[in-house]
Amino acid sequence: LPNRYGTGEKSVWVEYIQFAAEHKPAVNLGQGFPDFHVPKHITQALADVVTSDNPLLNQYTRGFGHMRLVNNLSALYSKLIGREIDALNEIVVGCGAYECLYCAILGHVDKGDEVIVIEPFFDCYEPMIRQAGGTPKFIALQPKNDGHNISSADWVLDEAKLKSLFNEKTKMIILNTPHNPLGKVFTQKEIELIADLCKKHNVLCLSDEVYEWMVYEPNKHIRIASLPGMWERTITVGSAGKTFSVTGWKTGWAYGPATLMKNVQVVHQNCVYTFNTPVQEAVARSFEFELARYDSPDCYFYSLAQELTPKRDYLVKILKENGFNPTLPEGGYFIIADWKKLENKINLNDQPEKYKDFRFTKKFAKESGVLAIPPSAFYSEEHKQLGENYARFCFIKKDENLALTEKLIKEWY
């Protein structure tokens, strides 16, 4: 294995999906995906596309994004960012937000470049930066206090530490809001601080906004690309998997100024070249459907967050009542919960894993039937201990599975 891939260790996803297949937990709150309905108009759109009389809809399409989809993305984000986004030169569609992140990182980061990464972070950022020859520089969000009723807003960055990471080698900072795994929705003030540092040090911002529509009242999602002087230095990434609750469709996009998107295009064209046509056409039609009812509360962009709010509150309550100390998320669909107080109820010594949260989540799944993800996977090697006392639970699940979670955790507790 070439050095740039590190030790070639399995990612937490490979490991935990295999674990779930072997141990068949009664409820899987691990990897993030909905276990319930997908809006009917979305699945119907795909069925219509693949069986349509137009044979071209099942053939290759334009490499940087199917025209109907990039036109819809341009319509939506032009409105949200407050400027005309060129569908041909300022948007790239790829295989999930994942591939778009890869193209944005590989297309900009070079040997010797530094990339600032906020911990905990979606785990693929680090290997992608290293593959590009770059060096990640980590800074952790930390809870202001470790009391009860903590929310993701209580997890904050040390401003002085953040400032100290910017230097002449800094190429990029990766922002993820709403945040996985904390659910933090960065405030205007926090985003302005990052924007000001990017402008001052001539640094790019890669903004991972896949959970842009999962924001719970009264929080507001702020797109850093819409701040003054930020469009020209920001690439924003989104996901149809998250937007329309179809994670298996693996359709993502990146948008930004043509000067930066040119580099994203190069990596994409030399990797997958073009993403599948029928799914892009179906996502385009789904956007048209939602854009036509954009001002109505029925629009899926808003109704999904409404539907998720009671699920979030229910899972937080279950965790609180059973010895966990969860952080109430302001966005996204994960809850991070501290399990320190449960340590005397579980024997972790017979588990081989290096990190305590890996031992806890596996043992807890075997004993209770509820699977969660170990958050130390979202920290750099030197900061793993910051995640070790937590477990991440996904709440985009059917009410009956959340009720089953309550029953199982109660029985275990």
The distance of closest approach from Cβ of residue 408 to ligand PMP in the complex, given in angstroms and rounded to an integer, is 25
Nearer to ligand PMP, 101 or 409 (CB): 101
Nearer to ligand PMP, 72 or 239 (CB): 239
59 by Cβ neighbours in 10 Å (0-12 / 13-18 / 19+) ranks as exposed
H or E, element range at 109: none
Residues 108-146: b if buried by 16+ CB within 10 A, e if exposed: bbeeebbbbbbbbbbbebbbbbbbbebebbbbbbebeee
The distance of closest approach from Cβ of residue 230 to ligand GLN in the complex, given in angstroms and rounded to an integer, is 25
What token pair was written down for 60? 């290759």
Q: Say whether 91 sits in a helix, a strand or coil.
A: strand
Nearer to ligand PMP, 371 or 408 (CB): 371
The distance of closest approach from Cβ of residue 373 to ligand GLN in the complex, given in angstroms and rounded to an integer, is 7
d(CA 259, CA 226): 17
The distance of closest approach from Cβ of residue 411 to ligand PMP in the complex, given in angstroms and rounded to an integer, is 30
Nearer to ligand PMP, 57 or 240 (CB): 240
Tell whether residue 180 is a contact of ligand GLN (CB under 6 A): yes
d(CA 223, CA 57): 33
Nearer to ligand PMP, 13 or 412 (CB): 13
The distance of closest approach from Cβ of residue 234 to ligand PMP in the complex, given in angstroms and rounded to an integer, is 16
Q: Closest residue (Cβ) to ligand GLN? A: 32
Tell whether residue 127 is a contact of ligand GLN (CB under 6 A): no
Nearest one of 380, 330, 281 to 178, comparing CA atoms: 330
Picked from ligand PMP, ligand GLN, none, the partner binding residue 13 (CB below 5 to 8 A depending on kind) is ligand GLN
Picked from ligand PMP, ligand GLN, none, the partner binding residue 96 (CB below 5 to 8 A depending on kind) is ligand PMP
Q: Closest residue (Cβ) to ligand PMP? A: 96
d(CA 11, CA 5): 12
Per CB under 6 A, the list member of 15, 20, 26, 31 interacting with ligand GLN is: 31
Query: Residue 408 phi/psi, 5° resolution?
Result: -65, -40
Picked from ligand PMP, ligand GLN, none, the partner binding residue 274 (CB below 5 to 8 A depending on kind) is none
Give Cα 161 to chain centroid, integer Å. 24
364 by Cβ neighbours in 10 Å (0-12 / 13-18 / 19+) ranks as buried
Residues that bind ligand PMP in the complex, under the rule CB under 6 A: 96-98, 122, 176, 180, 208, 210, 239, 241, 247, 250, 252
Nearer to ligand PMP, 264 or 342 (CB): 264
**Are 126 and 2 a contacting pair, CB within 8 Å?**
no
**Are 104 and 254 a contacting pair, CB within 8 Å?**
yes
Tell whether residue 32 is a contact of ligand GLN (CB under 6 A): yes
Tell whether residue 20 is a contact of ligand GLN (CB under 6 A): no
**Are 204 and 170 a contacting pair, CB within 8 Å?**
no
Nearest one of 131, 83, 77 to 103, comparing CA atoms: 131
Picked from ligand PMP, ligand GLN, none, the partner binding residue 31 (CB below 5 to 8 A depending on kind) is ligand GLN
The distance of closest approach from Cβ of residue 239 to ligand PMP in the complex, given in angstroms and rounded to an integer, is 3
Picked from ligand GLN, ligand PMP, none, the partner binding residue 250 (CB below 5 to 8 A depending on kind) is ligand PMP
Residues that bind ligand GLN (CB under 6 A): 13, 31-32, 180
